[in-house]
């Protein structure tokens, strides 16, 4: 089966690898379309950022494709705290603003040491965080920074570190 559009109604479905999929004959273009990443999300009070995600819940055609797309709005002088995605590589693109970002690679010889890979990013710049590595984003500018996010997994599982 070349497509497996998610569906809640099992009467209009077939099963692929134990997942419910819409009968491909009933799939529409809208199953593979999402509109709204151009709109700022609601900033979380105290944290200074908002995230909007595109997953199988709002784009059913993503089912079984192993992808998650998102947008993050980061307030000026705010840090998206250190976190990791244990099951996914993350790719970010700065759409607007200036961002300082990086990730840590543990030193195999010394548990208390890590190597920092970091970059100051501007609009159009792309950076990748390898799967499972602790990383961060800091808006070093005086205006909001907007990022596009791409994960190679269906849902973005996050572990935060304070």
Residue numbering of the annotated binding site: 83, 85, 90, 135
What are the binding residues for oxalate?
A: 85, 90
Distance of alpha carbon 40 from alpha carbon 144, whole angstroms: 10
Beta bridge partners of 149: 70, 92
> Which amino acids are annotated as binding site for Mn(2+), given as ranges?
83, 85, 90, 135
Q: Where are the alpha helices (DSSP H) in 13-156?
A: none
Helices (H) and strands (E) in the chain, counts: 0, 12
Q: Is 11 helix (H, G, I), strand (E, B) or coil?
A: helix
Q: Give dist(CA 15, CA 80) in Å, integer.
A: 39
């Amino acid at each position: 089966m070349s497509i497996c559009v998610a569906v809640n109604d099992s009467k209009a479905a077939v099963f692929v690898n134990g997942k419910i999929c819409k009968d491909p004959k009933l799939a529409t273009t809208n199953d593979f379309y999402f509109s709204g990443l151009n709109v700022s999300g609601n900033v979380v009070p105290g944290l200074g950022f908002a995230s909007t995600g595109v997953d199988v819940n709002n784009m059913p055609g993503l089912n079984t494709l192993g992808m998650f797309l998102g947008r993050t709005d980061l307030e000026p002088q705010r840090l998206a705290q250190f976190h990791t995605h244990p099951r996914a590589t993350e790719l970010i693109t700065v759409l607007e603003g200036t961002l300082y970002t990086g990730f840590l690679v543990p030193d195999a010889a010394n548990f208390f040491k890590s190597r920092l890979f970091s970059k100051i990013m501007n609009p159009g710049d792309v950076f990748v965080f390898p799967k499972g590595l602790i990383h961060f984003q800091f808006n070093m500018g005086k205006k909001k920074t907007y990022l596009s996010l791409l994960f190679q997994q269906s849902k973005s599982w996050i572990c935060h570190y304070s």
